[in-house]
Amino acid sequence: MINRQIHLVSRPAGEPVRDNFKLIEAPVPALLDGQVLIKHSWLSLDPYMRGRMDDKKSYAAPQKLNEVMIGGTVGDVIDSRNPAFKAGDHVVGMGGWQEYSVADGRGIRKVDTSHIPLQAFLGPVGMPGVTAWYGLNKICEAKAGQTISVSAASGAVGGVVGQLAKAKGCRAVGFAGGPEKCRYVVDELGFDACIDYKAHPDSKSLYAALEASTDFLHAHFENVGGPILDAVMVRINDFGRIAMCGMISGYNGEPIPMKFPQLILTSRLRVQGFIVSEHMDVWPEALTELATLVATGKLKYRETIANGLDAAPEAFFGMLKGKNFGKQLVKL
Amino acid sequence: MINRQIHLVSRPAGEPVRDNFKLIEAPVPALLDGQVLIKHSWLSLDPYMRGRMDDKKSYAAPQKLNEVMIGGTVGDVIDSRNPAFKAGDHVVGMGGWQEYSVADGRGIRKVDTSHIPLQAFLGPVGMPGVTAWYGLNKICEAKAGQTISVSAASGAVGGVVGQLAKAKGCRAVGFAGGPEKCRYVVDELGFDACIDYKAHPDSKSLYAALEASTDFLHAHFENVGGPILDAVMVRINDFGRIAMCGMISGYNGEPIPMKFPQLILTSRLRVQGFIVSEHMDVWPEALTELATLVATGKLKYRETIANGLDAAPEAFFGMLKGKNFGKQLVKL
């Protein structure tokens, strides 16, 4: 049986390009005792992957060259020599950019698809959902009556941030790129307001848009960085919290200085970075809440689907530029 | 009886100048019931005063024009119509840039000078000392074995930060301006290392100096901002804490962007501003510890003394440029 894989074969200088990747065919190895063979049905594409492609200090080791690109996957067990799994089980794991993976049982988790579509375990009921939950609850410390803003509000994480905030009785303000995404954020996701950052290219203009859309903010969830963050820092209340989840505007090496760090002092802000995989203790609580909301139709989300493993690099480039709408997936 | 006062009469455009201030003579008013008349012996000059001189959003209301400049003072009660105070009591308060003040008993506090010099209640056993204590304990969360850095290390706050850190069993690294201050920080205050920021004018050069002086940092106490903060952010460990106490390098309106805010995310930093006057609950604990250390000679400090109220503006300008050495005081 042949397994198609995408390897990282060179590191990008700035924007990643097709030549940084190579499609490889390799045989699926025979299972050893304790191992499980999984046929992936969906691959998740996420902004963090861009950081891993660089060979520099970050929160995780760099992606190794000439190995399968890291990535979250869902799929079915098709063969098992591990008593905890049997053929037909649906599992979520970090299978990587390939059609099959072999796991030893650690790092994969069985999921129940009776009320939740399998690929949602890569989105609102998976890492992006828990990321939203953690930042909103543990760093933004959102409480009823407060106003919370979030950038990349139509994305896999941002959309959940705003909907969870609304469910708590907060006011939610989003930033998204373009009128179509902004309409979706307000009309479908139920945010109170959304600012089209493409119509407001600098922090002054973004500040004016913020001032027109909302009173002062209590907390902010950052996925983008740059002028959005600068504008938010001027429009946030004393003792505001800023959850630093992503800075996609700088992922290709662009400088994204914070213009007014003195506001951290004068407004007594707390600006804090986090990586959700370091907070596994909250996952059960967060996933339970998220699964319930998705199963009952109360948490909405959208997917952008690329077809086939070959399409993964292009879909990934598009996501870094904000071309996706909601969660970017690859159907394998 | 004539009271000499310094008023703020215009707001500085950039660096403050002598003409922003005016020396006024006014009669000392007769006391009403409940009031206390204090003759100031010392006036404290502190960096926060520069922020108050601007008419913009900050953590406190701007200093009003044509009123006495705000400032901490120590002095003696010379007349009292308040049963809680009697002539001869030594008191600390916010008397302002003037020779006498009238208080209603709130905001002044009697101090015991039997083991501690009166002016130390404006320094290590006063607001600067508690500022150091709060940032180090509550934001930096310094623990034995960790490495803590602090900018303006020879100053009234920075010197206490490093000595408290050493007393806890931390390694302390300072930044100070010039070889004389650096020698003082290491030889007299007992820091493990001190980096002369004047010899390292940009963040790359400061980083190289940090790398040569110390392993990675666990926490940092910021009084300056700019290139020092940029260098520290590259040299701080994952989960590092940065207490934002002051950004004197930007107090005259200079832009001081934070170069690499993405490090807050990738290193999962917590960057938090604070104002010690909002944490009055910790003052008794902090002052007790600081008073004991000063009374027993274990906490060292230095003073730069200007003579007479007229000298206050020049001394203040010098402090903003780092010309003072240790706590800047005016002897009245």
Q: Is A181 exposed, middle or buried (0-12, 13-18, 19+ CB in 10 A)?
A: buried
Chain B residues within an 8 Å CB radius of A271: 264, 269-272
Distance from CA of B138 to the nearest CA of A (A): 13
Q: What is the pLDDT of residues B266-293, one digit of tens each?
A: 999 999 999 999 999 999 999 999 999 9
Comparing CA positions, the residue from B164, B168, B192, B140 lying closest to residue B299 is B164
Q: Is B272 an 8 Å CB contact of chain A? A: yes
pLDDT value at residue B249: 85
> For the residues B203-225, what does the mean pLDDT come to?
96
How far is B272 from chain A, CA to nearest CA, in Å?
Answer: 4
B61 and chain A: CB distance < 8 Å anywhere? no
Number of other CB atoms surrounding residue A168 within 10 Å? 16
Q: How many CB pairs under 8 A join A and B?
A: 100
Beta bridge partners of A37: A79, A102
Burial (CB count <10 Å: 0-12, 13-18, 19+), residue A255 = exposed
Check B225 against A261: CB less than 8 A apart: yes
Residue B254, pLDDT score: 84
pLDDT > 90 fraction of chain A, expressed in percent and rounded: 94
What pLDDT is recorded for position B251? 80
Amino acid at A189: L
- Residue B239: which of B141, B119, B135 has the closest Cα? B141
Residue B57: pLDDT band with limits 50, 70, 90: low
What CATH class does B127-277 carry?
alpha beta
Note whether B272 contacts A274, CB cutoff 8 Å.
no
- Distance between CA A195 and CA A183 in Å, rounded? 10
| SS3 track for A103-158 | ECCCCCEECCCCCCCHHHHHCCCCHHHHHHHHHHHHHCCCCCCCEEEECCCCCCCH
pLDDT of residue B49 exceeding 70: yes
Whether B247 sits inside 8 A of A229 (CB atoms) is no
Smallest Cβ–Cβ distance between B266 and the set A58, A258, A259 belongs to: A58
Q: Which one of B140, B216, B223, B244 would you mutate to disrupt binding with A, by most A Cβ within 10 Å of its Cβ?
A: B244
B233 CA to chain A: closest CA distance, Å?
13
Q: Which residues is B225 bridged to in the sheet? A: none
* pLDDT tens column, A143-179: 999 999 999 999 999 999 999 999 999 999 999 999 9
The answer, for B59 touching chain A at a CB cutoff of 8 Å, is yes
Take residue B7 and report the two structure tokens written for it: 């008023």
DSSP class of residue B62 equals: P
What distances in angstroms separate CA B321 from CA B47, B148, B152, B190, B258, one per listed residue? 10, 24, 11, 24, 21
C-alpha radius of gyration, chain B, whole number = 20
The answer to whether A175 and A151 have CB atoms below 8 angstroms apart is yes
Q: Map out the domains of chain A as residue ranges.
A: 2-123+302-331, 127-277
Amino acid found at B264: I
C-beta atoms of B271 and A266 within 8 A = no
CATH of domain B2-123+302-331: 3.90.180.10
Q: Check CB contact under 8 Å for B225 and A268.
A: no
Gyration radius of chain A's alpha carbons: 20
Determine, for residues B244 and A265 on separate chains, whether the beta-carbon distance falls below 8 Å.
Answer: yes
Kindly report the nearest CA distance between residue A271 and chain B, in angstroms.
Answer: 5
State the average pLDDT for chain B. Answer: 96
For the cut 90, the answer to whether the pLDDT of residue A308 exceeds it is: yes
Query: How far apart are the CA of A218 and the nearest CA of chain B, in angstroms?
Result: 15
Cα of A113 vs its chain's centroid, Å: 21
Q: In the prediction, which pLDDT does A252 show?
A: 82
Query: How far is A60 from A276, CA to CA, in rounded Å?
Result: 12
pLDDT at A88: 97
3-class secondary structure for B255-292?
A: CCCECCCHHHHHCCCEEEECCHHHCHHHHHHHHHHHHH
Residues on chain A touching B220 (C-beta within 8 angstroms): none
Q: Which two tokens stand for residue A307?
A: 């077809």
**Is residue B267 within 8 angstroms of chain A, CB to CB?**
yes
Nearest CA in chain B to A58: B266
Q: Are B241 and A237 in contact (CB under 8 A)?
A: no
Q: Residue B323 corresponds to which amino acid?
A: K
For residue A75 the two structure tokens come to 């799929």
Q: Does B213 touch chain A (CB under 8 A)?
A: no
Tell me if chain B has a CB within 8 Å of the CB of A245. Answer: yes
Q: Extract long-range pairs of B101-110: CB within 8 Å, 24+ residues apart.
A: B101/B37, B101/B38, B101/B40, B101/B73, B101/B75, B102/B28, B102/B29, B102/B31, B102/B35, B102/B36, B102/B37, B102/B38, B103/B35, B103/B36, B103/B38, B104/B34, B104/B35, B104/B36, B105/B34, B105/B35, B105/B36, B108/B36, B108/B38, B110/B85
SS3 A279: coil
Token pair listed for B167: 């007393």
Chain A contact probe: residue of B222, B266, B267 with most A CBs at under 10 A? B266
pLDDT per position as a tens digit, B149-193: 999 999 999 999 999 999 999 999 999 999 999 999 999 999 999
- Whole-prediction pTM: 0.93
Residues of B in contact with A266 (CB under 8 A): 51, 57-59, 273
ipTM surpasses cut 0.90:
yes
Residue B109 has phi, psi (to 5 degrees) of: -145, 130
* A57 confidence band (pLDDT: 50, 70, 90): low
Q: Which of A228, A233, A262, A269 best tests the B interface by mutation, with the highest count of B CBs <10 A?
A: A262
> Which one, of B130, B123, B76, lies nearest residue B103 by Cα?
B76
Query: Which chain A residues contact residue B258 at CB under 8 A?
Result: 257-258, 261
Backbone angles phi, psi at A4, to 5 degrees: -90, 135
A273–B257 CB contact, under 8 Å? no
**Which of A245, A262, A270 is closest, CB to CB, to B247?**
A262
Residue B155 tokens read as 């100053």
